[in-house]
Amino acid sequence: MLHGQKVIFVSIVDNQSKTVSNLRYRIWHHEVLVKDILNRKNAIIGRKTYEMTRWKGPKTWILTRNKNLKKPGVGIIHDIDDLHLHTEGDIFVLGGSSLFKIFEEYVDEIHMYVLNNKEGKEDWISLKMSNWLPRNYTNEYIWSYAHLQRREEIDPIELIKNLFE
């Protein structure tokens, strides 16, 4: 969580396979999810993703270091600590590994789409799986989908207290 707001990370990993060469023409299921997020949810994307896709919606924010960037119909933000000043409710982060690294400690859920191509390779995030619970997994041959939820950390002192109550 970031300032009490749930952070949900949505990513597509294409393994640089050239199977689907342009983010505008991605996995249909992913596109349906992205359109729903852009139309109804708080969404934050990186500048490069925005320039590649032109994704935007009424609650879309571009995270960039460029203080001079202005894009019509999209909010610009330079520091994730300011997100709560502009948004209420869950935050959907649409991005790749660089955006994940920025939000990593705050991410509560991950929705990840992976194009299944053994020829490609892409460095993405490294997850310690003991920190995550798998909620859903689908394999549709050309692509796979995984939904992960962060495990809640258990305070050992609270655990001991609960045992004796």
> Is residue 158, in this structure, part of any structural domain at all?
yes
Q: What is the pLDDT of residue 77?
A: 92
Q: How far is residue 94's CA from residue 46's CA, in Å, rounded to a whole number?
A: 8
Q: What is the pLDDT of residue 121?
A: 54
Q: State how many domains the chain has.
A: 1
Q: How far is residue 42's CA from residue 64's CA, in Å, rounded to a whole number?
A: 16
Residue type, 49: T
Which pTM value belongs to this model? 0.78
Maximum distance among all alpha carbons in the chain? Answer: 58
List the CATH number of the domain containing 118: 3.40.430.10
Checking phi first, is residue 38 left (phi over 0); if not, alpha (psi -120 to 50) or beta?
alpha
Q: What is the pLDDT of residue 143?
A: 74
Neighbouring C-beta atoms of residue 148, cutoff 10 Å? 21
**C-alpha 33, offset from chain centre:** 12
Q: What is the pLDDT of residue 23?
A: 47
Neighbouring C-beta atoms of residue 7, cutoff 10 Å? 24
Q: What is the pLDDT of residue 59?
A: 92
Q: What is the pLDDT of residue 25?
A: 46
> Is residue 60, in this structure, part of any structural domain at all?
yes
> Is residue 30, in this structure, part of any structural domain at all?
yes
Q: Give how far Cα 148 sits from Cα of 22, 81, 112, Å.
A: 26, 24, 8
Q: Which is nearest to 17 in space by CA: 141, 119, 113? A: 119
Q: What is the pLDDT of residue 158?
A: 64
Q: How far is residue 57's CA from residue 92's CA, in Å, rounded to a whole number?
A: 12
Q: How far is residue 89's CA from residue 81's CA, in Å, rounded to a whole number?
A: 15
> Is residue 15, in this structure, part of any structural domain at all?
yes
Residue type, 132: W
> Is residue 2, in this structure, part of any structural domain at all?
no
Q: What is the pLDDT of residue 76?
A: 93
pLDDT tens series, the chain, 165 aa = 899 899 999 887 765 555 555 544 455 567 777 888 999 999 999 888 888 888 889 999 999 999 998 888 899 999 998 888 888 999 999 987 788 889 989 999 998 877 766 554 555 677 888 888 989 988 877 777 889 999 887 666 665 666 676
> Is residue 1, in this structure, part of any structural domain at all?
no
Question: Which residue bears the tokens 């935007």?
Answer: 56
Residue range(s) defining the domain that contains residue 11: 7-163
